[in-house]
Amino acid sequence: MADQTFPIPGAVDATRPRAGLLEWLHSWVVTVDHKKLGILYIVYAIFFLLVAGAEAMAIRIQLAIPHNHFVSPEVYNELFTMHGTTMVFLVGMPILFGFANYLVPLMIGARDMAFPRLNAFSFWLTAFGGLMLYFSFIGGFGSYGVGNAPDVGWFAYAPLTARAFSPGHSTDYWALSLIVSGFGTLGTAINIIATALSMRCKGMTLMRMPLFVWLLLVVSGMTLVTITPLTAAQVMLLIDRYLGGHFFDAQAGGSPIVWLHFFWIFGHPEVYVLVLPAFAIANEIIPVFSRKAIFGYPAMVAASVGIGFVSMTVWAHHMFTVGMTAVGNAFFVLSTMLVGIPTGIKIFNWLATLWGGKIRFATPMLFCIGFLFQFLIAGLTGIMLSVAPWNWQLHNSYFVIAHFHYVLVGAIVFCIFAAIYYWYPKATGRMLSETLGKWHFWVFLIGFHITFDTMHFVGLLGMPRSIFTYEPDRGWNTLNFIISCGGFVQAVGVLIFAWNLVYSYRRGKAAGNDPWDAWTLEWSTSSPPPDYNFAVDPVVRSRRPLWDIKHPQDPDWKYER
C-alpha cells in the first residue's frame, strides 16, 4: 500500500521558485520554522562530528605507537578534552534536539513548536557556544603558547581548573561556552515540553503520543534538572577564578569533591539525556521494519520515565575511587544496577517487537540492529563498572573509554545514522542510496568493533585514560595499534556517509510521502513538508494513525490498551 497517497490533505507541493544565494542564506538565518531549525541543528552537529572525529583520529595517531611525538602533551590534552566536550555538547545534544525540532511537531500533528522564536534563539545560542569553544584554539596564547583550548578533560576536575593550576583562559572558554550553549539547551528543552504538552492535535492523548515524542518529553524534563546544576557549578568555577571565591579551593577549606558531585549530578543524567533520544529513534524504526506495533507501549513509557528518575540517583558511580564510605559505595552500586531493570525492559520489548515480525533489512534497520547488540554489550560493561570493587580497578582505564564509546558510538551514533537514513527522505524528498548505505553500515560496523572491542582489553591490562603516551614495555603496543587502525576504518565509513548525503541530495530516488510504509503522522504530509506542515489539522484515534487509515478493517484503536 506504500504507493498510496493519503487523504490528509496536507500534501501540498512545497517546491518554490529558486531564489538567489543570499536570499537563501538569509532565509535560513532568520527562520523560525521548526523544520529549518531542526535541519540547522543537524547540519551543525554533523559538522562538529567531523571535527571531533578528526580530533579522535589525531588522538589515535598519537597513541598508535609508544613514545610517539605526533603531537605534544599540551596539544594532546587539548585534543581529548575538545573531542569529549565537542562530542557531548556540540554533537550529541544538538543533533538530538535537531531531530526533536524537526519531528516532534510533525508527529503530534502541530504546525510548529510552542515558541518558535525562542526556538531560533536557542539554536543561535547553542551555535554561538560552539563557535566560542572553538575560537579558543586561536584566542590568546594560553598557558603553553599554543592557543587556549580547554585542556582539563571534559569533566574539568577541580582543583586542576583553579587559577593556580590552569593559568590562561582555557578553562574560562570551557565554562563560558558551555554556559552559553547550556542556556540554548534549556530553551529548547522548555520548548519541547511545551510543544508536547500543549500543541497536540485532536485525539492525541498522552498515551497515544508516538514513543519518540514521549522519550523526548522525558529527555527534556531531565535536561531541565541536569543542565542547570552544570551551569550552577560552572558559575561557581568562574566565581572562583575571577572573583577570588573559594568554592573548590582546598586551601581555604573548600572541597574538590564538591565539584565532582556537582559535575556528575549533571554528568550522569546527561548520558541518559543522550541515549534516550537514541532509544526514541529505535522505537520508531524497529516497529516499522518489523511490520509490527511496538510491544508493550505503556511499559516503554513507564520504563523511560523510570530511567529518568533512577538516573538522578546514581551519579556517584563515577566516584567510587574518591574514598566514600563503604555504605555510600554500596548505595550507589545498588542504584546504578537498578537502572539496568527499566533498560532491560526496553531491550526485551524491542526483542518482542521483532519476534513474529517480517523484518526488512533496509539501512535504517541495519543500524538499529547494530544498536541493539552494541547497547546490550555496553549496558553489561556498565554493570561491570558499577561493581564498586571492580571499578576500583577499571575506573579511568581504557575499559571505561570502551564502555562509553560502546554507548556513545555503538548506540547513539548508530541510531543517529539510522535516523538520518530514515528521515532524510522526509526532509529532502530524496532517498539516500541504499548501496552506499550498506557500505557505510558494514565499514563503520567493522571499524567500530576493531576499535572499541580492543579497548576493553588494554583497559584490563592496566592502561589509564588521558595519557598522551605510554611506555613500550607495558604490553599495550599491538592492541593500541589495532585500535588506531579501527579508527581509520570508521573514518572511511563516515566519509562514505558524508558522500551519500551529498550525492543523494542531487541524484537520490524521489521518496514520495511515505517511502517506508510507516505509521506516524509525519509520513502523511508531503516530503519535504510545507511550511505549515498540515493543510488541515489531523485528528487521531490511536498511536498509529496511518495504520488505521491503511487498515480500516483492523484499526489499532480497537486493540490498544
Partner 1 sequence: MSTLPIFADESWRLPSRGRVGMFSLIIGESGIFTIFVVAYIYYIGRSVSGPTPQILEVPIFNSICLLSSSLTIVLAEHAIQHGLLKRFALWWALTMALGIEFLAGTAIEWRKLIFEDHLTIRTNLFGTTFYSLVGLHATHVLVGLVGLTLVMIFTLAGRVNQGHAGRIQVLALYWHFVDAVWVVVFTVVYIVGK
Partner 2 sequence: MSMQQRRPLASIRFWLTLIFPSCPGASSALAQGPQSTPSTLAPVTTPAHEIFGLSLFVLLITGTIFVVVGGLLAYALIKFRARNDEDAQHEPAQVYGSLQVELAWTVIPVLIVVVLFLTTARIIFAIQDAPRPKSALEVTVVGHQFWWEFRYPTLGIVTANELHIPVSSGRQPTSTYLKLLSADVDHSFWVPQLGGKTDLIPNHPNEMWLDPRTPGLYLGQCAQFCGVEHAKMLLRVYVDTPQQFDAWVKNQQKPGAQDAAVAAGRRIFETEACMNCHTVTGTAAKGTFGPDLTHLMSRATIASGAADNTPANLRAWIRDPNQFKPGALMPAMQLSDQQIDQLVAYLTTLH
Contact residues: ligand HEA, CB under 6 A? 50, 53-54, 56-57, 59-60, 80-81, 83-84, 87-88, 91-92, 153-155, 271-272, 274-275, 317-318, 336, 339-340, 343-344, 347, 376, 379-380, 382-383, 385-386, 391, 395-396, 400-401, 403-405, 407-409, 412-413, 451, 465-466, 487, 490-491, 494-495
**Residue number, nearest CB to ligand HEA:** 53
Give the type of residue at 217.
L
Number of residues that bind partner 2 (CB under 8 A): 99
Partner interacting with residue 258 (select from Cu ion, partner 2, partner 1, none; CB below 5-8 Å by kind) = partner 1
Listed residue (346, 353, 347, 343) closest to 288, CA to CA: 353
**Is 39 or 385 the residue whose CB approaches ligand HEA more closely?**
385
Q: Give the burial class of 243: count Cβ atoms within 10 A of its Cβ; 0-12 exposed, 13-18 middle, 19 or more buried.
A: exposed
Contact with Cu ion (CB under 5 A): which of 34, 200, 241, 268? 268
Using the minimum distance from each CB to partner 2, give the nearer residue, 390 or 442: 390
CB count, 10 Å around CB of 342? 20
Instruction: Work out whether 355 is an interface residue with partner 2 (CB under 8 A).
Output: yes
Closest to Cu ion by CB, 169 vs 268, is 268
C-alpha cell at 240: 572562583
Which of ligand HEA, partner 2, Cu ion, none binds 50 (CB below 5-8 Å, type-dependent)?
A: ligand HEA
CA neighbor of 412 nearest in space, from 307, 214, 287, 274: 274
Rule CB under 8 A: choose which of 54, 117, 475, 532 binds partner 2: 475
Comparing CA positions, the residue from 4, 140, 60 lying closest to residue 488 is 60
Burial class (CB in 10 A: 0-12, 13-18, 19+), 202: exposed
The residue written with cell numbers 533520544 in the block is 277
Window of 6-14, 202-210, 238-246, 549-557 that interacts with partner 2 by CB under 8 A:
549-557
User: Which is closer to Cu ion, CB of 60 or CB of 268?
Assistant: 268
Residue 405: contacted member of Cu ion, partner 1, partner 2, none (CB under 5 to 8 Å, by partner type): none
Does 35 engage in binding with Cu ion (CB under 5 A)?
A: no
Which of 248, 468 has the CB closer to ligand HEA?
Answer: 468
**Unique residue bearing C-alpha cell 590568546:** 140
Q: Which does 539 bind (CB under 5 to 8 A by kind): partner 2, Cu ion, partner 1, none?
A: partner 1
Rounded CA-CA distance 88/402 in Å is: 16
The residue count for the chain: 561
d(CA 126, CA 89): 9
176 binds partner 2 (CB under 8 A): no
Residue 202 φ then ψ, to 5°: -55, 135
Cα separation of 108 and 118, whole Å?
A: 19
CA atoms within 13 A on the CB side of 391: 22
Tell me whether residue 46 or residue 300 sits nearer to partner 2 (CB atom). 300
For residue 522, the one-letter residue type is E
Q: Which H, E and C letters describe 8-55, residue by residue? A: CCCCCCCCCCCCCHHHHHHHHHCCCCHHHHHHHHHHHHHHHHHHHHHH
- Taking the C-alpha atoms of residue 157 and residue 155, their distance in angstroms, rounded to an integer, is 6
Q: Which helix (H) or strand (E) segment is 23 a member of?
A: helix 21-29
Query: What character string, x for contact with partner 2 (CB under 8 A) and - otherwise, covers 240-279?
Result: ----------x--xxxxx----------------------
| First and final C-alpha spacing in the chain | 26
Specify whether the CB–CB gap between 311 and 339 falls below 8 A.
yes
* CB of 357 vs ligand HEA, minimal distance in Å: 20
Nearest-approach distance from CB 513 to ligand HEA, in angstroms: 32
Specify whether the CB–CB gap between 233 and 262 falls below 8 A.
yes
**Least distance CB 312 / partner 1 (angstroms):** 11
What is the C-alpha separation between 181 and 160, in angstroms, rounded? 23
Task: Check whether the bond before 528 is cis (ω within 30° of 0).
Answer: yes
At a CB cut-off of 8 Å and minimum separation 6, what does 15 contact? none
Separation CA 205–CA 114 (nearest Å): 17
Which listed range, 98-106, 347-355, 428-436, 487-495, lies at the site for partner 2 (CB under 8 A)? Answer: 347-355
CB of 272 to partner 1, least distance (A): 16
Contact partner at residue 330 from partner 1, Cu ion, ligand HEA, none, CB < 5 to 8 Å by partner kind: none
Q: Which of 32, 31, 26, 81 is nearest to 55 (CA)?
A: 81
- Residue number, 192 or 282, with CB nearest to partner 1: 192
Site string for partner 1, 238-277 (x = CB under 8 A): -xx--xxxxx----xxxx--x---x--x------------
Question: Binding to partner 2 by residue 12, rule CB under 8 A?
Answer: no
Helix axes 211-243 and 170-198, enclosed angle (nearest 10): 150
Distance of CA 171 to the CA centre of its chain: 24
Nearer Cβ to Cu ion (395/543): 395
Which of 64, 71, 213, 227 lies at the binding interface for partner 1 (CB under 8 A)? 227
Among 34, 37, 58, 74, contact with partner 2 (rule: CB under 8 A): 74
Q: Which does 34 bind (CB under 5 to 8 A by kind): Cu ion, partner 1, ligand HEA, none?
A: none
CA of residue 43 relative to chain centroid, distance? 14
Question: 115-154: which residues touch partner 1 (CB under 8 A)?
Answer: 115
Shortest spacing between CB 114 and partner 1, in angstroms: 4
User: Can you give the binding site for partner 1, defined by CB under 8 A?
Assistant: 7-8, 114-115, 186, 189-191, 193-195, 197-200, 202-203, 220-221, 224-229, 231-233, 235-236, 239-240, 243-247, 252-255, 258, 262, 265, 538-541, 548-549, 552, 555, 557
User: Can you give the binding site for Cu ion, defined by CB under 5 A?
Assistant: 268
